[in-house]
Amino acid sequence: MSGGPVRARFGSWNDGGMSRPLITTVGCCTSTTARIAVTAKHGLSHARLVFRSGEGVFQERTLRLTQPVGSSFLQGSFELEGLAASSTVEYAVAVSASEDGLPSLAQLSDSKGLGRFRLLPPPGQPLRIGLVSCNGGHTVNDHDRRHAMWKRLGEVVSAGEVDLLLHVGDQVYADHIREAWQLADLDDHLTPENEEAMQRLREAFRTLYCDTWQRPELASVLGSVPSMMMWDDHDIFDGWGSHDEVTPADRAFFEAARTTFEEFQARLNPPAFSDSYGFGWVSNGIGLLVLDARTHRSWKDQTVIGRRQWAEMDAWLEAQACAGLKRLYVVTGVPPLHAKVAAASRLLEKLGMTAYLGDVRDSWMAPNNAEELRKLLNRLFEFRKCSPCTEVTLLSGDVHVGTTARLRSRVPFHKRSDLDQPEITQVVSSGIGSEPPSGFIRKVVELGIGSEAVDMYQDLFTGRLLELPGNPDGRVLFRRNFAVLDLGAAGKGGWDPDLNLRVRYFAEGLARPIEQTLLAL
């Protein structure tokens, strides 16, 4: 671990007369490079960054921000290279209407608003990854609790325990935008071609991002640890892609959400695949395959990933098969293994609770998604065989509970040897803001999850949830949570000699994290 405690204080406030950006987010980093993305309010078109890495001297960069058509917000990203390897970066950003109005290097470097974040550790040291999803703090009635888990995550980041933060879906909740337009009958004639309406809609999404990410508890985290993000349905609207039909208004909301996802989330990530926001990334012996399961999702067409993303995913996996990765994390947003979907669907339909069917249809095990699930599992087990030194772990969110699981293939071709029992692991952390299921819906979830193996696809693939040690509810963590994944030997900064994965769930109401070691398979 390099550097000291990490902290950041950013927002729309002024520091000695200097205007700060509305949002400052640390994006994709390496051990010597960093990306710092900023969003400013209307009229503040110039930004200045001062920074230093390690014990170096402060430097400055000046940037002209861009303003999308019809937007009252401006954006830009600073790309830093040649930084002191694996050091702590101190920085501050100011914005102004003109370059002449920006504070000097001396003024900014001496300001009270210096933020700090660490670059990635050196190559021999595995990354400690934070896993978060489902930032629905609005679902919490107690205002003091709404962002409590973000505050706790900030403490864990400040203690130097996270190198990279993965946001795996529902970073914002845009459902209320759709509901407001419907109540006002504004979407009756809404289409993607209606540019005047689209500008208003995009601006509503931008305002949502700014309102959500300016919260001090969130801003502190976003400005103090490298982040990568992938969207899910609530970043668009509830159940996107899992409804029977897609209306012109539905498509308009998707296009507005897509534009603002690019402006606020995708710009933090490594280069994406060609027709989706999925991407592959390798660092420190770890591979990340982050799949976009919303852009091409269609219940009617029985697609989740999309043909071209499948092809690019296959090409990326083939390229990594001989790369000597020690761990491959595959991000899917919705977990491949959760409840017994068919039984839950029948029960909800019988009880007339059709409002929840979208959640059931989002599942990989839902009937129209089953073939895509088979393709996903087949590819991952094939990769496991072709890269025998690599452990494979699925990372997901979405379901507002925490779980770990083992998934097994019964396909003979997937065996590494006659004695091999092909298995991969799954870790789910959800949600950092959203409340867990309660009442009847919790009962439905509990009825759908047991200790026995669940058939995932025609008895060729099965999965089983694991007991979470110290969890009052056994296999399912029914508390708001985030997770930290660690592949290192405790306190030594190197790899665990047995390549085991330590998962720590930081859960609301529990003083100590729930810790589980997933043994290498």
1 falls within a domain: no
Q: What letter would DSSP give residue 95? A: E
Q: Which residues are paired to 40 by β-bridges? A: 74
Condensed to tens digits (0 to 9), the pLDDT of residues 22-51 reads: 999 999 999 999 999 999 999 999 999 999
Please report whether residue 501 resides in a domain.
yes
Among 118, 147, 182, give the residue marking a domain's end: 118
Separation between Cα atoms, residue 44 and residue 40, nearest integer Å? 6
Per-residue pLDDT of the chain (521 residues; tens, 9 = 90+): 344 444 444 433 344 456 999 999 999 999 999 999 999 999 999 999 999 999 999 999 999 999 999 999 999 999 999 999 999 999 999 999 999 999 999 999 987 779 999 999 998 899 999 999 999 988 888 988 999 999 999 999 999 999 999 999 999 999 999 999 999 888 888 999 999 999 999 999 999 999 999 999 999 999 999 999 999 999 999 999 999 899 999 999 999 999 999 999 999 999 999 999 999 999 999 999 999 999 999 999 999 999 999 999 999 999 999 899 999 999 999 999 986 655 666 666 666 665 666 678 899 999 999 999 999 999 999 999 999 999 999 999 999 999 999 999 999 999 999 999 999 999 999 999 999 988 877 877 776 666 678 899 999 999 999 999 999 888 999 999 999 999 997 666 789 999 999 999 999 999 999 999 999 98
User: Both 442 and 480 in a single domain?
Assistant: yes
* Cβ pair 147, 154 in contact under 8 A: no
Say what the pLDDT of residue 494 is: 87
Exposed, middle or buried, 324 (CB in 10 Å: 0-12/13-18/19+)?
A: exposed
How distant, in Å, are the alpha carbons of 14, 379, 469 from that of 250? 39, 32, 43
Q: What's the pLDDT tens digit per position in 360-400?
A: 889 999 999 999 999 999 999 999 999 999 999 999 999 99
pLDDT of residue 14: 46
Q: What is the pLDDT of residue 3?
A: 43
Best CA proximity match to 407, nearest among 436, 359, 437, 373: 373
In total, how many domains does the chain have?
2
Q: Helix 195-213 crosses helix 175-183 at what angle (to 10 degrees)?
A: 140
Burial letters 444-458, b for 16+ CB under 10 A, else e: bbbebbeeeebebbe
Question: Measured between alpha carbons, how far is 324 from 390 in angstroms, rounded to an integer?
Answer: 7
Answer yes or no: do 72 and 186 share one domain: no
Q: Which long-range contacts (CB under 8 A, 24 or more apart) does 252-257 make?
A: 252/187, 252/190, 252/191, 252/192, 252/194, 252/197, 252/198, 252/201, 253/174, 253/177, 253/178, 253/187, 253/201, 255/192, 255/198, 256/198, 256/201, 256/202, 256/204, 256/205, 257/174, 257/205, 257/231
CA dist 448 and 342 (Å) reads 9
- The answer to whether position 123 is within a domain reads no
Instruction: Report how far residue 11's alpha carbon sits from residue 22's, in angstroms, rounded to the nearest whole number.
Output: 5
Q: What is the CATH number of the domain that holds 36?
A: 2.60.40.10
Residues 231 and 111 in one domain: no
pLDDT of residue 443: 78
How far apart (Å, rounded) are the C-alpha atoms in residues 359 and 343?
Answer: 13
Same domain, 300 and 217: yes
Domain boundary among 59, 91, 118: 118
* Shared-domain flag, residues 273 and 220: yes
Find the CATH number of the domain harbouring 475. Answer: 3.60.21.10
Q: Which one, of 223, 171, 219, 203, lies nearest residue 35 by Cα? A: 223
Both 403 and 505 in a single domain? yes
Measured CA to CA, the distance from residue 120 to residue 226 in angstroms comes to 8
E strand or H helix at 348, and its extent? helix 341-350
pLDDT of residue 203: 97
Asked whether residue 484 is assigned to any structural domain, the reply reads: yes
* 60 in a structural domain: yes
Residue showing tokens 């459902």: 175
Report the candidate in 44, 59, 57 with the shortest Cα–Cα distance to residue 94. Answer: 44
Residues 275 and 202 in one domain: yes
Q: Are residues 114 and 162 in the same domain?
A: no
Strand runs labelled E in 138-181: 164-167
Nearest CA to 95 out of 14, 40, 50, 42 is that of 40
Amino acid at site 28: C
Domain closes at, from 69, 92, 118: 118
Flag whether 93 is in a domain: yes
- Residue 408 corresponds to which tokens in the numbers above? 């097994």
Distance between CA 419 and CA 410 in Å, rounded? 12
Backbone angles phi, psi at 379, to 5 degrees: -65, -40
Please state the φ and ψ torsions of residue 76, each to the nearest 5 degrees. -170, 165
Q: In terms of Cα–Cα distance, which of 161, 158, 165, 149 is closest to 507?
A: 149
**Is residue 437, in this structure, part of any structural domain at all?**
yes
Residues 177 and 71 both lie in one domain: no
Q: How far apart are CA 205 and CA 513, in angstroms?
A: 34
Residue 99: which domain range? 14-118
The span from the CA of 409 to the CA of 384, in Å, is: 11
Q: Are residues 20 and 72 in the same domain?
A: yes
pTM for the predicted model, two decimal places: 0.94
Q: What is the C-alpha separation between 129 and 110, in angstroms, rounded?
A: 32
Helices 307-320 and 370-386 sit at what angle, rounded to 10 degrees?
Answer: 10
Q: Rounded to an integer, what distance in angstroms lies between the CA atom of residue 448 and that of residue 343? A: 7
471 within a domain of the structure (yes/no): yes
For 72, 193, 196, 417, 431, the CA distances from 203, given in Å and listed in that order, are 8, 16, 11, 56, 26
